[in-house]
Amino acid sequence: MRSTKFWIILISGILAISLIAAAAVYFWHGTGTIACVYQDGVLIREIPLETVTAPYSFDVTWENGKKNTITVEPGRICISEAQCPDQVCVHTGWISDGITPIVCLPNHLSIRIESDLRQADGVVR
């Protein structure tokens, strides 16, 4: 048995650490402008969102022939159509910062917005 105080302190501790970590993630990753499309963890396409002038769409096909339609507009990106059962990726909507990725688990697809800094890192490596 532990006192109620112990649990309150433990839970608020985890909550505080998570909030700080979430804020840190926001500041580090929230400044990116390059949308990186990953299929099964492999980077398949990079779109510098700042240079997009006119909206356009393209399709990404997964092994089972299921397609995801990705739409790009100046400064933002979304999955506009998906051949997956849950449609979570479509409901995520537009993203324009690195805080939330768009993930389509059934089709092993994820889109993250990464910063130029990390991009430069990758080039050096």
Partner 1 sequence: MELKKMTRNALLTAIALTIFMIEAQIPPLVPITGVKLGLANIVTVFALFAYSWRDALMILLVRIFLGSVFSGQLMTLLYSLSGGLLCFAVTVLLRRFFTEKQIWAASAVGAVFHNIGQIITAILVTSTPGMIVYLPVLLVSGIVTGLFTGLCAQFLYGKLKHLGQF
The residue from 2, 54, 63, 125 that contacts partner 1 (CB under 8 A) is: 2
Among 92, 96, 115, 119, binds partner 1 (CB under 8 A): 92
Distance CA 57, CA 72 (A): 6
Of 70, 66, 76, 113, the closest CA to residue 89 belongs to 70
Nearer to partner 1, 67 or 118 (CB): 118
The rounded distance, in Å, linking the Cα atoms of 111 and 70 is 10
CB burial class (10 A; 0-12, 13-18, 19+) of residue 12?
exposed
Check binding of 25 to partner 1 (CB under 8 A).
yes
The stretch among 44-52, 60-68, 69-77, 101-109 that binds partner 1 (CB under 8 A) is 101-109
Q: What pairs with residue 111 in β-bridges?
A: 37, 102
Q: Is residue 65 near partner 1 by the rule CB under 8 A?
A: no
Distance CA 35, CA 95 (A): 9
Q: Exactly one of 37, 47, 60, 112 binds partner 1 (CB under 8 A); which one? A: 112
Residues that bind partner 1 (CB under 8 A): 1-2, 4, 7-8, 10-11, 14-15, 17-22, 25, 29, 38, 40-42, 85-86, 88-89, 91-93, 99-103, 105-106, 108, 110, 112
